[in-house]
Chain A
Amino acid sequence: MIAVFKHELRSYFHSLTAYVFGAFLLAFMGLGAMLYNIQAAYSNFEFVLSFGSLVMVVIVPILTMRVIAEERRQKTDQLLYSLPITTVEVILGKYLALLVLFLIPMAVISLYPLIFSLFGDVYLPTSYGSILAFYIMGAALIALGMFISSLTDNQGLAAGIGIAVILFNYYSVSLSEQVSSTALGSVIAMVVLILILGAIIRYVTKNENLAFWISIVLIAAVAAFFYVDTAAFEGLLPRIMSALSLFDRFTVIVNGVFDMTAIVYYLSIIVFFLFLSVQSLEKRRYN
């Protein structure tokens, strides 16, 4: 694992990726700090982070796009499979390298509240609480990006899908207010989601029967629930959409409540996508 970690970290500094990621994050945060803390003279650094979370939509997929896709394209994944290291070690090594890379600009950003506190009253606990939460949220997004990168051998595609997914997640709360909240609307949306899930299973496992039957069973379950308890489906879709939002939970923390459920949510997202990445890499051995 240490070997993979070191190797990844070095290769990021060999290429432009690490610098582009750090530069964009710092530039955007700097812009935020100028707008909120200097021009508008707010003493809350949290607002800057909230503003800065938008840039994560673009820079996280750029950071993670090559992490596994490139191994596949260059066929170096064969080397990883033949070395005496496990897939879990490969994924963890790569993930830790990404976390360290993300930590570097965050360390710089951590100085801002201290600097501002020299010129006024900054409530440091919320500032640093938010910085920590921002880091963990970023870590969750990186785990998601890594999984997307493991699905394809095309970096561009990995970045595109990553941006689309994270952008959707970013706006899911505002979108959830627009979508139909009727029971039938929710059912239709659920069916569409199940079909997308089925397509992903089909793509990852190359097993048509499995994908088909999982979709059928889930759709049947939804239909049965709808028949039994129609009322439960009222407003279900908006509820799901806002529950899935990573950014919405961060807003709660920015507003001054260090919500432990949000942290637990982020950590479970991380574990979930790391697990999926391992599975996706492991699956390659089967087809």
Chain B
Amino acid sequence: MSLDTRARPHQARPRIHPNYPRRMRLADSLQILAVVSVALVVAVFLADGGAARISTPADAITALGIVTGLVGTDLLLVMMLLAARLPAIDRAFGHDSAMALHQSLGKPALYLILAHAVLLTIGYALVQPAGFFDEVWIMFSSLPDMPLAFLGLGLLIAVVVTSLVIVRHKFRYEVWHLVHLLSYVAVLVAIPHQLSVGTLFREGSLQRYYWLALYAGVAGSIILFRFIVPIVRSLRARLTVVGVDQEARGVVSIRLSGRQLRSLRAKSGQFFIWRFWTPGLWWQAHPFSLSAAPTGSSLRITVRGLGDASSTLPRVPVGTRVSFEGPYGLFTDFARTSPRIVLIAAGIGVAPIRSLLETATFAPGQATVLLRSSTVDDTYLVDELAALCRARGAELRIIAGKRAPGTSSWLPGDAVQARITLATLVPKLREADVYICGPRKWTDEVVRDARSAGLPTRQIHFERFDW
């Protein structure tokens, strides 16, 4: 240690983990591809001479109607790819971020398709001439494949409306999901009219091949990664329940055993979507994180029995076959950018934290684990965490205490009063990756604290489970 007591510049740039640049390049490429795909469909319209032929207001409205249809459909295809569980997307953004983007694209896509329908009706009606509703009927009855297109629009509206946050929670998840799958039908059913009405995608044209190739690519990806890969993996792994351990009241760890699990390349902190093949549970699929590092033959999850379905989980019989989709998630060591690490968990969020602690990369003294709970007894897997921390040289702190009513801090009331923040709790926070897992609102608060401490977003990792 140097005897120089002058203030040292502690703005030393944190050493970036080598994975980070590669991951960000992938993320950049995917984002650029998505944006360029939109530009491409507009360019297809332009290349067909669409813009140069505009000479009256009706022409302009019709052209705009065509363009909104193209862009809206392209957005729908992007949305479907985001939900298709593509490995590249999971590696670059994490499945939960991809689904968050998917959700936010829903309304714009619908608005664009609605604009497409309305603008084209107006454009045609101006030319016919006919009233707006007369024109709707004329289009429905005289243009080819239009009834299907109308059906597609109707289904799309139904899907988006039922996905609005206010509406969604009125349904149980499985019902909502079934309705949501109608979006595949909506997209399929609209394809014929895109190919037969108007001349943009006329037979033999280059753009028709491109358009069909797009659809084929998206369809192929969905079929492969959303359906075939999970089925094949589940069949090969032959996972069964081998033990259920009580961790606390209503909280159990379920141990699973299978074969060739290394081929899954699962990492600590990732989650799977599980289906337990036993009466009462088989028709639901649950996302749960691994609560221990995966091995070649075993996996463990820790779940809390809440909600109608999960309450039966603690009683799942040993020997039950389990199928799964995954592994998914960027809540892993793969997302590291810095040498130090802070793991923060509340409630059942401790599960992925526990698995991360087992295999994350850090040197002794460079890791901090923070557990948040209302009371000291309200924590799960504490013994395991304590043992791991001792073994790996990480610091464990349990922050117990109730939140002060009326405030929205992630810390207990007395800590807030004492002006304690994440920065004061954790040494050298700026050189650390922070992993946060817990209830949504609480997680948002921790993120806010970390951001206000000056931590860049690339060093803050958290997983959303409300998709």
Q: Do A and B come from one complex?
A: no
